[in-house]
Amino acid sequence: MKHDFSELKLDRVTRRFAGAGGKAFNALDELSLTVKRGEFIALLGPSGCGKSTALNCIAGLLGLSGGSIWLDDERLDTLPPEQRGFGMVFQNYALFPHMSVERNVGFGLRMRGASTAAIAPKVERALAMVQLAGQAHKLPGQLSGGQQQRVAIARAIVIEPPLVLMDEPLSNLDAKLRIETRAEIRRIHRELDRATIYVTHDQDEALSLADRIVVMKDGAVQQIAAPPEVYGQPANLAVARFMGYRNVLDLEVSGRDGGEVSLSGGGIALRGVAMQPIEGRRAAVAIRPEEFTVGAPEGANTIAGRVDNVEYSGRDALLDLVTASGTVLHVRGPVSIRRGDEVRVHVPPERVLVYRPD
């Protein structure tokens, strides 16, 4: 498998499974994506959205029900996994417990028929890249979880693959190790100058690691964009909800002015930005808790309410604000706020995102 590729292309890749009663369903529905050399792609979404199915189709662990996969002008979906030459990092590490770190890392090279003399320097370089020099003769059970995951990464990259596939590689690590290891993954990706496709359900991981994020739901792509766009301009309500827009209000459209929409309902009046063409008299408004400013005077895009619950978060608190009509808003505010306080909150119109309702 060539290493000097330009792009990996997924063309309407589909994977169908038999469901209850023999009725088929698409776990992956016509995924089309082009990945450039050197690019880091995150497949992001909740459990069951199709992201791991997509990764396994690329790896060759699952066959396609439709579509094709290409590495430049070479078709891959007709090849078995071992001929695709990709490196894969699994969620559970998948290390051989009876083999030393050195032998685990060199396993793929041995399976390819490389000589002992050729394997040794490559294993040494891979271990140095993941900062495990000096650990070669230990067994996996003698290492921490973070070190075991780095052994798994070394095993994936030692074969010098054109593409590295990672399936939820940090989910078994504690919070501190996750942060440290994802920084290591990004560093290794830069040094390799290959492509990485990374599956995760964690928005922070995707935002911090990826050049582009593919947000998925029910086997279908919802949005493909750079992290700032996915975070700040979700393509639809499903993406907005998944990316932390906890306040979703169903309101009546009272006016339109270009891309700006005026909405009202239940004693709330807001102006916001239409993220989709809005048809009819109803629309859904999505707002992040941190977009509100607590203590605002009366005016446009200001909402009054009583604090019903306070969750201390360190620097700030998450407040449940109940309006006079009973609508509950989730708001980030100062830790000085107490349950029962009457407050006003303001949100800028450009941070009020308006979508078609569900």
Residue 93 has pLDDT above 80, yes or no: no
Residue 320 has pLDDT above 80, yes or no: yes
Q: Which residues pair with 353 in a beta bridge?
A: 273, 286
CA distance 242 to 111: 41
Q: Are 108 and 159 in contact (CB under 8 A)?
A: yes
Query: Among candidates 298, 307, 299, which has minimal Cα distance to 271?
Result: 299
CA distance 10 to 145: 33
Write down the pLDDT at residue 61: 93
Q: Are 295 and 311 in contact (CB under 8 A)?
A: no
Which token pair is 271?
A: 């102006």
CA distance 279 to 196: 40
Band (pLDDT 50/70/90 cuts) for residue 3 is low
3-state secondary structure at position 240? helix
What does pTM read for this prediction?
A: 0.91
Q: Taking all residues of the chain, what is their mean pLDDT, rounded to a whole number?
A: 91
CA distance 305 to 72: 58
CA distance 195 to 166: 11
At 52, phi and psi to the nearest 5? -70, -35
3-state secondary structure at position 93? coil
How many beta carbons lie within 10 A of that of residue 218, not counting itself? 15
Percentage of residues in the chain having pLDDT higher than 90: 62
> DSSP state, 297?
P
Residue 2 has pLDDT above 80, yes or no: no
Beta strands 302-312; 268-274: pairing state: unpaired
* Per-residue pLDDT tens over the stretch 207-219: 999 999 999 999 9
* Per-residue pLDDT tens over the stretch 22-34: 788 899 999 999 9
* Per-residue pLDDT tens over the stretch 256-305: 888 899 999 988 999 999 999 988 899 999 999 999 999 877 778 999 99
CA distance 3 to 81: 16
Q: What angle do CA 327, 217, 280 make, to 5 degrees?
A: 50
CA distance 358 to 117: 61
CA distance 54 to 142: 33
Write down the pLDDT at residue 246: 94
CA distance 148 to 38: 25
CA distance 293 to 135: 51
Query: Among candidates 105, 75, 62, 65, which has minimal Cα distance to 9?
Result: 75
Q: Are 163 and 196 in contact (CB under 8 A)?
A: yes
Find the farthest-apart pair of alpha carbons in the chain and give their distance in angstroms, rounded.
76
* Per-residue pLDDT tens over the stretch 135-177: 888 998 888 888 888 888 899 888 889 999 999 988 888 888 8
Helix residue ranges per DSSP H, the chain? 51-59, 81-84, 101-111, 116-129, 145-157, 175-192, 203-209, 227-232, 237-242
Beta strands 247-257; 282-287: pairing state: antiparallel
At 51, phi and psi to the nearest 5? -70, -45
Most confident of 15-24, 58-67, 109-118, 165-174: 58-67
Region of 78 on the Ramachandran plot (φ > 0 left; ψ -120 to 50 alpha; else beta): alpha
